[in-house]
Structure 1
């Protein structure tokens, strides 16, 4: 029913012209045109039925793909007896399955419409003029045939483009996830070089795909326009003349039925069809969750530090000076920090405390160089931090934020990428012991085992970042609540290791043990910061006393001094 208009259109026009209007019988001509209108209505009803038939095929396909995706995801999630995250499964279950459903329905409709239209046009043209039918059939077969033959290469190019796009998106995610660390450690250049390589590979894949898709234009030209030109030439110079009605009938077949069908077929197969094959292949061949998300990054792809990071075999302290430092975020009405003055001697250890939102993390960012003061200067050994190149900044300080950045790679790469050259196992063993990473080393199968960031807890990621900073040659370590996800015992052990490491240490504290162990405490309260020892701040700062009281109440594990005092009180009783 859907193909009836394609079969009858040329015949009705030819008969309306030759037997009606040119024969002096306008009513006969109008009758043939009215018949064409009725046939078109019948074709519309047939199109509706074809759509319902397509749905009867496509919907079970969608259900089967959903079942397959869920089964594969659960099977991989339980591999090895432990649940692993597979964030890509959500995309497969929602976006990719729906894409296959829509593409399959569209492609099936396009192919069927072309097949019926092509057969109808060939039959109709053959009844009007056999030679004209050959002139129509031959170029369409050549154009569509050549395009179908080229589809294999187009599919490969489309797959390469899809994978390149995924790689580009994954690399952008990796860089954005570690942007603060990349800036703090001066790794902008290697990160940009890596991203540039991935972007160029994506561009090459897109260009290759674009070149192959020019075959679509060629197929449209051969299959859609060449028959029209050949028929007109045959009508003008053919050995047997064609009547006006026959010429108009054949042109109607070509213009109204054949050329739109060829165009829809080429575009549908070239876009929807290829997308269907690629996506369906990704669904059926989808692997289990890979470490780190979309793909596993080999060792050579991990962000490597610049060679200028090293400042010597052993880190030494650095003098830190803040001169009337103020800072406000763009669009902010008030300064987050205003007129802060601070001087740290080389190797000094200071804890920064204050209520939430007072500017502690902002101060840490200023010391790390990830933000530049609105007013004032941050000096490291007398040199303005803002004037130093990123590589030189990284040589002077290491910054460990609250949300630690761990990339997909080996444990050795994660622990040692801030060092100048490879780290010997003895030094790495010491860092592993200091920060309680022995279980993780066993879990990954040694230092050369692959780390899956998604499989790590927030505390484990923090321990890796702390050990990385510990092994770096940085002379200033800034810890912005870098132990907040660790249990109190692990936090005490980690901060003790950082204190024993040569260098200047700034800790944004959130437990009393951090502040009590520091040589000096800096209390931020929105005004002029108060600085002094723990005992002095207890005596002079109401805010600090309140914070210490709050920490003492909330602490699940009291600090060693509190335990000692409590035991003494029990003994005295």
Structure 2
């Protein structure tokens, strides 16, 4: 969490310098106020020279006007730091939603986005408040030491005591603020679930239990709010000690100050330093850190603890091969859910063609996501070429899901945006992928020639003609599901990835088109994992992996028919087709 904050502050050093320069100007009234009041009284109004007094007050007014201009510039500079900070947090939230081990509904993502906005506002408030406090206190110390040094002994000890009391309470404040946020979120989730299930609750006569469960959530949230309120009372005590006790001490020490040569104007000026600069600065710090700082700590803890950080793409590694190994892999969607994949050991040699079959919900798509590195196992490890799957460079593997992604842009852009290799030295599989890599340094004609060969291999010529050629703009909503799948399949075919995972990626194609696509990927080379939609996909594979409620069996078609009643039953329910 500290790294996130310090990283945002260090990103733009020139903005920090700009904030410092304008803060010096903004602190001018804190330095001048005591002197201006003292001189206006003693050299002006008390000496029968109101003009002199007005000049000193006018100088103080000019300092306040300058401080207002400086404050505006500080706010703009702080915004220049806070906005990139917000963008970093929002990126983390989106990546967390994409890679979360537990599915995230839209409400949860929206709440996370709201927390990002709260964190941004709190971060800006904390930076502004702490900076203002530091410069104001420094200005007061300079002003008092030049006006009446003896007053520092009366003011600073009490001020430091109040500040220390407040800072000591901050960790407890942060914990209770976080507990309140958690309780508030749990209550919101419970109310949302209750509202969505009211009809079923009434139909089942479960009103009393539903009321008890929701009442317990309300009670926890109320208890967290009361605990937070009790802790915030410490802030009032800190302000009383650090902000107002110095006033009492200055008044009590006035005889000694007068005996030391200070005049009435100096005493009033000293009180002006305390009441108009020091106490407001401490109050601002207490409000800023006690509210915004605690909120920042709590929201950052919620955001940064949501999921383990993933390495940036630039830091991910290109594996030397495309062998896949799963060692004791277990994965469940939630801490209290049954494992979808349970202690799975599996080796997929480089160049293998593996079909994954099993009933709905057996974990086929989960396994595909684990191999692709978009999910992290709860236990065990998934290695691609000896590298943990989440750390593998995206260009080294490609996953095509059932719902193929097509973006608005030219067909050429849709087909080729995955084709760049992760490094110049990275090897590519045999066939079109290597050819496309070579075409990367050439012109558009070479790229189109490579696309022509891939389109011919996968039987996508009719799609290209229907769209209007490679340069035509694609409207994703206007493409049938089968054509979207062909776009994604050609994209995977021309990519440099040596590991290709097709998760029912041909389910919208007819059997003949599916057979043609799978034969093309076998000729392409590399390692091919196919989550089978039809029995013929399994029959074309070199090996078949059967998933059944966390258990796994690997073998050929005849072996599985003989060894597994489930596989025999699945084979019997698949529509009989001719294997191409």
TM-score (norm 1): 0.49
Which is higher, the Rg of structure 1 or of structure 2?
A: 1
